[in-house]
Structure 1
Amino acid sequence: MRGLQDLQILVRTAERGSVSAAARELGVSPAVASLAIKRLEDELGCVLCLRSTRSLRLTQHGERFVAHARQMLASYQQALAELHPQAAPLREVLHLSMPSDFGRNLALGWLDDFQRAHPHVQLRLSLSDRLADMYREPVDLAIRFGLPPDSNLVALPLAECRRVLCAAPSYLARHGAPGCPQALAEHNCLCFTVGERLHNRWRFWRDGGEWVQQVAGDRSADDADVVRRWAVAGHGLVYKSQLDLAPDLAAGRLLRVCPEWQGEPAPLYLLCADRRQLSPTVRQLREFLRERCLALLAGRAATDSMADKQG
């Protein structure tokens, strides 16, 4: 279908910022790719790309049309999957944004497995603790802890989890373990920032009551992975999602502190701007990530249960 191929060429050109790069990936010549874009422009009656010998950028018409072109291609793949559920391989390019710690230390390995199972799926990753603007930035999906402030985004649950208070054995050997959240005022607490906000008010619950503790420390970072690494190195206490800390807890690099106090909820969501983006690829990726998260948390729960029995 020539029209679909033209749309695919346009979308890939917008993603790569180059007709030649898009042509190489799709296995066509640059001349064929240029002709496809010209054909679309003639059909639509407007300029989609401004090109020079060294650069390419989308016009305002182009930016709007590419967003619709992605949805049309996703709808076509979904139709194929419904007609031939066993025969149609997943084929899609997904731009995925996720938190730094979760992305580097958990999701990268999981996504390797996903792409081995679906070799025609291409992923473009952005690792940042800043929530991407999904209406202005070239991001299809975002993985984030907590519900987004923008209620217009579609939020698909991946895992229910909470923050846990932890420290390295070396830190606890030097400073002892706080017996309650109030004692955190006497400890070095490692905080991270998102935007301009420093997360230094840690919330805990016990027996139906809530306690909010203002904490301070000699280190903070805008990368939560850095904060976790500081904690593993013995520099202070960390208060993060149990998903992020599960491998370190299982290996004994970190130990739970004040386990009788419940940390604040930190549910993990897969976000997109429009339900029409929920293609077969996105749905299978969501289910794949959900299963991996649940398995990790189940392993952590088993470890906690054994630790309680030994204690």
Structure 2
Amino acid sequence: MTDIFDIRFLLVIRESKSLLEASRKLGLTPSAVTQRLQQMEKKLDLRLLDRSARQLRFTDEGEVLCVRGAELLQQFDALLEDLHERRRGFVGKLKINAPFGFGRRYVAPAVAAFKSLHPEVEISLTLSDQPMVEASDRFDVVIHIGQLGVSNLVCRTLAPNRRFICASPAFIARHGLIDSPEQLAHQPCIALHENNEDVTLWHLSRGRKTQSIRIRPSLISNDGNVIKQWGCDGQGIILRSEWDVADALADGSLVRLLPAWKLPDANVVALTHQREGLPERTRNFMRFLQDSFLPVPPWRA
């Protein structure tokens, strides 16, 4: 069986008056053209060109191959053009994975707004408590919050996000206001289980001083909304993202503890499998999501 390059080669010969003219069009020597033509005939076990004639004349089999091959080339070129249009345009499928809480509050509305602007894009949004543990190769974009471990995914920052240690006023009234990280080890704490991380080891820094405190959680959940609600209900001390507790801190449902100490930032990022060659729908969605957090993210507004 011949391939698509052989068909293009044959069509150039068919459009030429002689092998010499064909060789010029192909940028080859006449002997190279003849040799390749002989190799094709040997591979197909067919004679394609009648060399006894003064002018180039294809055999019946050679003519069929040219006519049918031209049709296939047209379909192939149309397929490539369609793929390029898909890359440039807003059609096709877009599969997104995001954490439960952040996905509900920020990603889902953005997906709906993006869909309204580009109705031809088929979007699938999956919310998960372990977006980095699941088969990320099934998704075009993975929204991740926090530090990124070893990964071959390409990371793009969407929005800044800090993390705070908080408790309710009722909890502070019962247990007192802590003034050092060491006290966390002896207080009722609540841990969020996500991405198979060590959620009982909290890292704090103040200037050049760093401390890692091993808490003993009295409650654990894989749902950030549950963690926040337990904290507001006075069940224990929580460590949560700024995006999640900013409203509770503003209305007094939670109070920030150890404000002089800093925890590692947990920026919101978008992960993809490659940096270049992404479909336009994927790149545009990430820009759209990024723009929704500008000039400042909602949790800092």
TM-score normalised to structure 2 length: 0.64
Instruction: Map 1:180-195 to 2 at 5 A.
Output: 180-194=180-194
Q: Contact between 1:134 and 1:272, CA under 8 Å: does it hold in 2?
A: no
Q: Is the 8 A contact 2:160 2:297 kept in 1?
A: no
Amino acid aligned to 1:79: R
Q: 1:122 to 1:174 in 2, by over 3 A?
A: farther
Relative to 1, partners in 2 of residues 1:77 and 1:146: Cα closer, same or farther, differing over 3 Å?
Answer: same
Aligned to 1:168: 168
Instruction: Report the Cα distance in structure 2 between the residues aligned to 1:278 and 1:248, rounded to whole angstroms.
Output: 39
In 2, are the aligned partners of 1:142 and 1:271 still within 8 Å (CA)?
A: yes
Kindly tell me: are residues 152 and 237 of structure 1, through their superposed partners in 2, closer, same or farther at Cα, counting changes over 3 Å?
A: same
- Secondary structure at the aligned position of 1:190 is classed as strand
The whole-number CA distance in structure 2 between the counterparts of 1:72 and 1:180 is 63
One-letter amino acid matched to 1:102: F
Give the superposition deviation at 1:210: 0.7
What do the CA deviations read for 1:99-144 (whole angstroms, capped 9, x no partner)?
A: 1221123322333333333333332122112113223xx2221011
Question: Is 2:243–2:299's contact at 8 Å kept on the other side of the alignment?
Answer: no
Following superposition, the deviation at residue 172 of structure 1 comes to: 2.4
Change (3 A) 1:296 1:240: farther
Question: Counterparts of 1:1-311 in structure 2 under 5 Å?
Answer: 75-80=84-89, 90-130=90-130, 131=132, 132-135=134-137, 138-194=138-194, 196-276=196-276, 278-294=278-294, 297=297, 300=300
CA contact (8 A) 2:141 2:272 kept: yes
Distance 1:157 1:257, change over 3 A: same
Aligned partners of 1:223 and 1:141: how far apart in 2? Answer: 21
Q: Which 10-residue stretch deviates more, 251-260 or 96-105?
A: 251-260
What is the CA–CA distance in structure 1 between the aligned matches of 2:99 and 2:256, rounded to whole Å?
22
For the 8 Å contact 1:74–1:277, the answer to whether it is kept is no
Distance 1:154 1:74 in 2: 23
Q: Which amino acid aligns with 2:85?
A: Y
The answer for unaligned runs of 5 or more in structure 1 is 1-42, 44-68, 81-89, 303-311
CA contact (8 A) 1:98 1:126 kept: yes
Deviates more, 1:101-110 or 1:91-100: 101-110
The answer to whether the 8 Å contact 1:227/1:238 transfers is: yes
Displacement, 1:73?
A: 6.8
**Does structure 2 conserve the Cα–Cα contact (< 8 Å) formed by 1:166 and 1:256?**
yes
How far apart, in 1, do the equivalents of 2:161 and 2:232 lie? 21
Q: Specify whether residues 196 and 161 from structure 1 end up closer, same or farther in structure 2 by C-alpha distance, changes over 3 A only.
A: closer
Q: 1:254 to 1:218 in 2, by over 3 A?
A: same
Q: Distance in 1 between matches of 2:115 and 2:233?
A: 33
Q: Please give the per-residue CA displacement for 1:234-259, whole angstroms capped at 9, x wherever unaligned.
A: 21111122123233333433222111
Cα distance in 1, alignment partners of residues 82 and 260 from structure 2: 51
Evaluate the alpha carbon distance shift between residue 98 and residue 75 of structure 1 in structure 2; reply closer, same or farther with a 3 A threshold.
farther
Give SS of 2:282's match.
Answer: helix
Q: Which letter does structure 2 place at the counterpart of 1:208?
A: R
CA distance in 2, matches of 1:199, 1:253: 23
Moved more, 163-172 or 272-281: 272-281
TM-score (norm. length: structure 1): 0.62
SS in 1 for 2:144: strand
2 CA distance for matches of 1:73 and 1:190? 52
Measured after TM superposition, the shift of residue 75 of structure 1 is: 4.3
Structure 2 distance, partners of 1:75, 1:146, is: 35
Contact 1:140–1:272 (Cα < 8 Å) also in 2: yes
> How far apart, in 2, do the equivalents of 1:97 and 1:298 lie?
21
- Whichever residue aligns with residue 282 of structure 1, its letter is T
Cα 1:185–1:153 change in 2 (3 A) is: same
